[in-house]
């Protein structure tokens, strides 16, 4: 967790970045020494593709990005969305217990404009999280941290550049990414759209629901 806090500072300056947090095993306090650090990164609308490229380049240069041969303690950059893509009901299964607790245990480490509260509010339309969030010391800490980092809305010239680049990058990479997805026979758990990029091809949600419900 300290490592995540350290390296997120290197990307916090990126225009259009709205929230960065940790999910999966580390957030659920069941990580192993071999575990990677799964990040969920939220951007402003029309910024996701540019932010993804910049985050990937920075973590690659710092040599902390997960690779095919290096996993332990490295960052997995496989989950991005815009603010409009934060509604997980769009890909939730029926009685999706894993996704429910993924949201409960998610640890936001960098937040702007109350994005974390908006994330919970949007997903509360299909599941009730507030009982857990208001009784968990860890998530109360997250909510307090969000208030400290809350920044009012502004549209800088840097963000305008990001928006312009985003159109170009999206035009180039979205069709290629979708083609790779189809070539791999559309693995369950992978989602590619204008507002959401989720590359977890080892999605265990179906098996968890089958085993527990």
Count of the separate structural domains present in the chain: 1
**Model pLDDT for residues 1-56, shown as the tens digit of each residue:** 899 999 999 999 999 999 999 999 899 888 888 899 999 999 999 999 999 999 99
pTM above 0.85, yes or no: no
**Model pLDDT for residues 45-63, shown as the tens digit of each residue:** 999 999 999 999 999 999 9
- Of the candidates 48, 58, 49, 46, which has an alpha carbon nearest to the alpha carbon of residue 13? 58
> Residue 136 belongs to a domain with what CATH number?
3.30.460.10
DSSP per residue over the chain, as a string? -HHHHHHHTTTTTSTTEEEEEEEHHHHTT---TT--EEEEEEE-TT-HHHHHHHHHHHHHHTT-B--SS--TT-EE--EEEEGGG--GGGTPPTT-HHHHHHHHH-EEEEESTTHHHHHHHHHTTTS--HHHHTT-HHHHHHHHHHHHH-------HHHHHHHHHHHHHHHHHHHHHHHHHHHTT--TTEEE-SSEEEE-SS--HHHHHHHH-
The pLDDT value given to residue 204: 79
pLDDT in tens, the chain (213 residues): 899 999 999 999 999 999 999 999 899 888 888 899 999 999 999 999 999 999 999 999 999 999 878 889 999 999 999 999 999 999 998 888 899 999 999 999 999 989 999 999 999 999 888 777 665 544 544 444 444 444 445 567 677 788 788 788 888 877 777 777 665 656 777 888 889 999 876 777 888 888 887
- Host domain of residue 9: 2-212
């Amino acid at each position: 967790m300290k490592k995540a806090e350290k390296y997120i500072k290197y990307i916090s300056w990126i225009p259009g970045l709205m929230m960065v947090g940790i999910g999966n095993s580390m957030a659920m306090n069941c990580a192993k020494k071999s575990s990677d650090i799964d990040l969920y990164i939220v951007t402003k609308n029309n910024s996701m593709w540019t932010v993804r490229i910049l985050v990937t380049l920075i973590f690659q240069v710092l040599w902390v990005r997960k690779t095919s041969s290096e996993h332990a303690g490295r960052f997995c950059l496989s989950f991005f969305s815009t603010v409009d893509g934060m509604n997980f009901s769009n890909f939730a299964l029926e009685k999706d217990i894993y996704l429910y607790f993924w949201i409960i245990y998610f640890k936001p480490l960098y937040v702007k404009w109350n994005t974390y509260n908006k994330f919970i509010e949007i997903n509360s339309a299909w599941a009730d999280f507030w009982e857990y969030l208001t009784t968990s010391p860890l998530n109360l800490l997250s909510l307090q941290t969000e208030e400290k980092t809350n920044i009012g809305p502004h549209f800088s010239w840097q963000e305008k550049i990001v928006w312009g680049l985003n159109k170009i990058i999206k035009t180039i990479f979205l069709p290629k990414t979708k083609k790779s997805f189809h070539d791999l026979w559309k693995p369950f758990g992978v989602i590619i759209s204008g507002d959401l990029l989720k590359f977890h091809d080892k999605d265990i949600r179906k098996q968890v629901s089958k085993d527990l419900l």
